[in-house]
Chain A
Amino acid sequence: MKLLWAVSALLLSCWRADASTAGFIKSPLSQMKLINDSAEMHCEVVGNPIPEVQWWFVEGEEPNETFTQLFDGARNDHVKINATYIAHATSTIHLTSLTPADSGTYECRASNDPDRNELKKTPKIKWIRSQANIIVIETPNIHTEPPEVSNQTSAMLSCNLTDGNLPIKGSYWIHNGKIIEGSKTSDGKSHTTLKLEKITHANSGKYECVFETDPLVNQTIEVKTPPHVAAYKHSEHGNENDKVVLVCVSHGYPLPTDWVWFKERENETPLLLTNGTTEKYEISSTSNKTSLTINDLNIDSDLGNYMCSGTSELGTADDKIYLRVRSRLAALWPFLGIVAEVIILVTIIFIYEKRRKPDEVNDDDDSGSAPLKSNSNANHKDKNVRQRNSN
């Protein structure tokens, strides 16, 4: 009997020998985030069988800690958990729209013990745990001077980081998403400036001062100018009964919100062209480009100046395009002229030829290039003189 027990215990332990306990290969990292920012933590565990991973939120101090388990969709859908269980277990937790209440310790728990969910046993024993802190801080105030630039010829932009809690490594400026060369500093000062000497539509836009803290903090200053409207080509040609497309583009910030096209008339107010009233005019506009398509050009009435006008909150700008309509037959006259010249020349050449040698007209095959005729120089072996075959 004892032998039987010993053997079965041995067999059981052998069978359980290839099982390995769970172990972390990747632990979640602590982070500091701003309010309304989002955070992500990653946890990877190996073990055989594949362990189960859970996320828990820890509040309070030891020994009065409270544990709350987080699941996918918790906190009003601000929590998302993504887990895969292939070869080993991975789990990623996303926290969005962070509030100060989200600050705390987050715990990644894993276990492959088959008894792990037994309520009668203490959880700590069967689960391995790894913790990380998330601290959500108020966005530090950056004071911008001036807060907005509107219709000025030059400006000095400055940013001042007033909350001095975070260590500052350096700062730089961004214009329209691209870092401005030469604006990067590593002096750790909480104050940075950028000088714009000449403000035109080319360098208007959104300027961001960025402080290299952990996490990065930035503030935007908008530099606004009146719209600048330019036509692709100031002189356009169209063919009669064909269609033509007139295009205007705009640069700068902010871009026009409204585009209008006018046709100028002599001694009258310009005609406002609108979409859809007739088949003749089609206007399609985006914020930086507008195009007017004129169908079925008429050589008399469609000739003239067309004006495109773009309006933004800072004003209106426009440009003119002069449209020329070519007659269908415009190219016909040179064509006929040159054809006439060719016919005259050919006639002259033929007449000259006929007159020079009226009695020696060669009406035999003048090619002499057909291969069979090459035996005109057949070298008969028994004669010294070459024979010429007259064709």
Chain B
Amino acid sequence: MPPAAVTNLGYTPPDGGWGWAVVFGAFISIGFSYAFPKSLTIYFKEIQEYFSVSYSEIAWVSSVMLASMYAGGPVSSVLVNRYGSRPVVIAGGVLVCTAMVLASFGTNIIHLYLCVGLIGGFGLAFNLQPSLTIIGTYFQAKRPLANGLAMTGSPVVLSTLAPLNQFLFDSFGWRGSFLILGSIVLNCCVAGALMRPVNKSIQRKTNNEASKCNSEAAEELAAAVDTSTHSDNLQTEEHQSEKKGQGFIQKFTDVSLFRHRGFLIYLIGNVVLFFGFFAPVVFLAPYAKHQGIDEYSAAFLLSMFALVDMFIRPATGLIGNTKWIRPRIQYFFSFAVLYNGICHLMCPLASGYTGLAVYAVFFGLAFGMLSALLFEVLMDLVGAHRFSSAVGLATIIECGPVLLGPPISGALVDYFGDYKYMYYACGVFMLVSGIFFFIMHYYNYKKLDEEHRLTAAAETGSPEEAVQLKMNQDDRTVTETDE
């Protein structure tokens, strides 16, 4: 096996060293991106009374923030493609800080929509995408673990921000708190400073060593082969002629991703999945109160959920890294989705506080597993160098279901007057999505293995065979480019 057939990045990622500092930076960035909009809800009641607006008007602030965070994805991936992760994250941190400082001087609710919602959301988008991208450049063999650790930022930052926000609110009122939150968010710039661009020039040495055909190293390297390697190899061969004709858009974002089989599978599955992803989290506490549980115990359920979530994410990363799971990590992801679905379908059976507590623990497990793998599988499918465009396109398309999911579930609850239909609906969404993933990835893996066998045979086979296979391949290439 050719020793350099490990990665198509053109260098070997360090898989450690400064990479762990980058993971820590990503931890902070991702944490703020996900936890910040959720933690702001503590101020809503006071702001609602101050500006004399209705509850739904104040809830729009959160929605606008989330929407612009997802919509800012493509913009952020364009910027990352041009300038790299570090400047974008630092810019994002400054942007959110400015947004919060401006918001603290707000005189009406529209001011808040613009500052906190639009500008703040954009700034958070500039934090999320680059963090994920840079992990892909620093890690290859230990990438699932790195991703799992980075995604743990979300529950950890949320559980720190929630009581902190309450304390700030009691001491300073909402205007003062917004000011101080602006400065806290500026720490994303520190995270950005840690994201030193990966050094690509020292890799020649390591590759020469590997070419000594150390069997152990070859095994490890073989185990670290991506599905992306195969798919990308083929794609570069087939589309090489086409690439010369690409124009303006190709420089900024990779729209050819929409022809990438793995990416399409991911996208379709995710759109269905996100309809039922966040709603159960939002409705956990209200459901508990509906069952007659008091407020503090209901809040404790959420804390239990967050605690389990916190620990399961690095654990999932670790499991995903093992040599049994890594080559077939897409199945692990599909399993996580299915598990989520089953959890929700079983929730209405839970009765009383202990039942709900058990559900919260299992749901925490499911949610954490899914979140830890969410971006890892995308990296696995499209490869690290196309990842930033992929994640940008994926987030803007996922924007719709993420925003529509909770209100639709809320409407279901209002219409039927019972929470169990909402849980059934969410469970069904996840189940359908999980089964879709299983089937499509089985097909995808088969195709990729086929293609891999073809290329491997073409490179190492006998000359006649090689000629024969190359002829077949050329025919295929010709017919495909002719299309």
Cα distance A388–B200 when bound, in Å? 11
Please state if A346 and B189 are interface contacts (CB–CB under 8 Å): yes
Please state if B250 and A334 are interface contacts (CB–CB under 8 Å): no
Please state if B251 and A370 are interface contacts (CB–CB under 8 Å): yes
Q: In the complex, identify which listed stretch (B58-66, B170-178, B288-296) lies at the interface while the others stay far away.
A: B170-178
Asked if A118 CB lies within 8 Å of chain B CBs, one says no
- Candidate in B81, B90, B184, B254 with the most chain A CB atoms within 10 angstroms: B81
Please state if A391 and B200 are interface contacts (CB–CB under 8 Å): yes
Q: Mark B394-426, 1 if CB is under 8 A from A, else 0.
A: 000000000000000000000000000000000
Asked if A64 CB lies within 8 Å of chain B CBs, one says no
Please state if B2 and A362 are interface contacts (CB–CB under 8 Å): no
Please state if A376 and B387 are interface contacts (CB–CB under 8 Å): no
**Chain B residues with CB below 8 A from A378, complex form:** 236, 240
Tell me which of A330, A331, A362 contacts B197 (CB under 8 A). Answer: A362
| Given A331-B177, A335-B179, A369:B388 Cβ within 8 A | yes
Please state if B385 and A326 are interface contacts (CB–CB under 8 Å): no
Report A262 CB to chain B, min CB distance, Å.
25
Please state if B386 and A326 are interface contacts (CB–CB under 8 Å): no
Cα distance A350–B197 when bound, in Å? 12
Asked if B483 CB lies within 8 Å of chain A CBs, one says no
Cα distance A357–B184 when bound, in Å? 30
Asked if B328 CB lies within 8 Å of chain A CBs, one says no
Please state if A342 and B183 are interface contacts (CB–CB under 8 Å): yes
Cα distance A346–B86 when bound, in Å? 12
Asked if B84 CB lies within 8 Å of chain A CBs, one says yes
Cα distance A391–B80 when bound, in Å? 17
Report A242 CB to chain B, min CB distance, Å.
9
Asked if B83 CB lies within 8 Å of chain A CBs, one says yes
**Chain B residues with CB below 8 A from A349, complex form:** 190, 193-194
- A302-349 residues with Cβ-Cβ distance < 8 A to B are 326, 330-332, 334-339, 342, 345-346, 349
Residue of A nearest to B199 (CB): A362
Q: Mark B360-403, 1 if CB is under 8 A from A, else 0.
A: 00000000000000000000000111111100000000000000
Please state if B133 and A338 are interface contacts (CB–CB under 8 Å): no
Asked if A353 CB lies within 8 Å of chain B CBs, one says yes
Q: Mark A221-257, 1 if CB is under 8 A from B, else 0.
A: 0000000000000000101000000000000000000
- Candidate in A332, A337, A349, A385 with the most chain B CB atoms within 10 angstroms: A349
| Given A346-B193, A368-B10, A384-B459, A326:B199 Cβ within 8 A | no
Q: Mark B149-190, 1 if CB is under 8 A from A, else 0.
A: 000000000000000000000001101110110111011011
Cα distance A336–B232 when bound, in Å? 49
**Chain B residues with CB below 8 A from A367, complex form:** 80-85, 197, 388
Please state if A335 and B190 are interface contacts (CB–CB under 8 Å): no
**Chain B residues with CB below 8 A from A381, complex form:** 237, 470
Asked if A61 CB lies within 8 Å of chain B CBs, one says no
- B223-252 residues with Cβ-Cβ distance < 8 A to A are 232-233, 236-237, 240, 243, 246, 250-251
Report A338 CB to chain B, min CB distance, Å.
4
Q: Mark B254-297, 1 if CB is under 8 A from A, else 0.
A: 10100000000000000000000000000000000000000000
Please state if B10 and A331 are interface contacts (CB–CB under 8 Å): no
Cα distance A112–B49 when bound, in Å? 66
Please state if B232 and A379 are interface contacts (CB–CB under 8 Å): no
Cα distance A342–B4 when bound, in Å? 42
Cα distance A266–B431 when bound, in Å? 70
Please state if A371 and B389 are interface contacts (CB–CB under 8 Å): yes
Asked if B201 CB lies within 8 Å of chain A CBs, one says yes
**Chain A residues with CB below 8 A from B186, complex form:** 338-339, 342
Asked if B5 CB lies within 8 Å of chain A CBs, one says yes
Asked if A76 CB lies within 8 Å of chain B CBs, one says no
Please state if B240 and A369 are interface contacts (CB–CB under 8 Å): no
Q: How many A-B residue pairs have CB under 8 A?
A: 139
**Chain A residues with CB below 8 A from B180, complex form:** 331, 334-335, 338
Tell me which of B104, B385, B470 contacts A374 (CB under 8 A). Answer: B385
Please state if B183 and A334 are interface contacts (CB–CB under 8 Å): yes
Please state if B236 and A371 are interface contacts (CB–CB under 8 Å): no
Please state if A376 and B10 are interface contacts (CB–CB under 8 Å): yes
| Given A330-B172, A381-B470, A342:B190 Cβ within 8 A | yes
Asked if A366 CB lies within 8 Å of chain B CBs, one says yes
Cα distance A367–B89 when bound, in Å? 13
Asked if A267 CB lies within 8 Å of chain B CBs, one says no
Cα distance A370–B77 when bound, in Å? 10
Report B209 CB to chain A, min CB distance, Å.
16
Please state if B387 and A369 are interface contacts (CB–CB under 8 Å): yes
Asked if A365 CB lies within 8 Å of chain B CBs, one says yes
Asked if A390 CB lies within 8 Å of chain B CBs, one says yes
Please state if B190 and A345 are interface contacts (CB–CB under 8 Å): yes
**Chain A residues with CB below 8 A from B133, complex form:** 369
Please state if B246 and A379 are interface contacts (CB–CB under 8 Å): no
Please state if B243 and A389 are interface contacts (CB–CB under 8 Å): no
**Chain B residues with CB below 8 A from A331, complex form:** 104, 172, 175-177, 179-180
**Chain B residues with CB below 8 A from A342, complex form:** 183, 186-187, 189-190
Asked if A77 CB lies within 8 Å of chain B CBs, one says no
**Chain B residues with CB below 8 A from A377, complex form:** 8-10, 232-233, 236
Please state if B10 and A237 are interface contacts (CB–CB under 8 Å): no
Please state if B250 and A371 are interface contacts (CB–CB under 8 Å): yes
| Given A385-B4, A390-B201, A374:B232 Cβ within 8 A | yes
- Candidate in B82, B180, B386 with the most chain A CB atoms within 10 angstroms: B180
**Chain B residues with CB below 8 A from A369, complex form:** 80-81, 133, 137, 384-389
Cα distance A239–B174 when bound, in Å? 10
Cα distance A374–B90 when bound, in Å? 26
Asked if B198 CB lies within 8 Å of chain A CBs, one says yes
Asked if A360 CB lies within 8 Å of chain B CBs, one says yes
Please state if B190 and A346 are interface contacts (CB–CB under 8 Å): yes
Please state if A388 and B251 are interface contacts (CB–CB under 8 Å): no
Report B149 CB to chain A, min CB distance, Å.
20
Cα distance A274–B204 when bound, in Å? 85
24 contacts between A and B (CB under 8 A): A330-B172, A334-B180, A335-B180, A338-B180, A346-B193, A350-B193, A360-B199, A362-B201, A365-B83, A366-B200, A367-B80, A367-B85, A368-B10, A368-B385, A369-B81, A369-B385, A374-B236, A374-B385, A376-B10, A377-B8, A377-B9, A379-B237, A388-B10, A389-B10
Leading 10 A-B pairs by shortest Cβ distance: A331-B176, A366-B197, A338-B183, A371-B254, A376-B10, A377-B8, A349-B193, A366-B84, A335-B183, A367-B84
Contacts A335-B182, A391-B10 known; list 10 others, CB within 8 Å.
A339-B186, A342-B189, A360-B201, A367-B388, A368-B385, A373-B385, A374-B236, A377-B233, A384-B459, A388-B10
- Chain A residues with CB under 8 Å of chain B are 237, 239, 326, 330-332, 334-339, 342, 345-346, 349-350, 353, 357, 360, 362, 365-379, 381, 384-386, 388-391
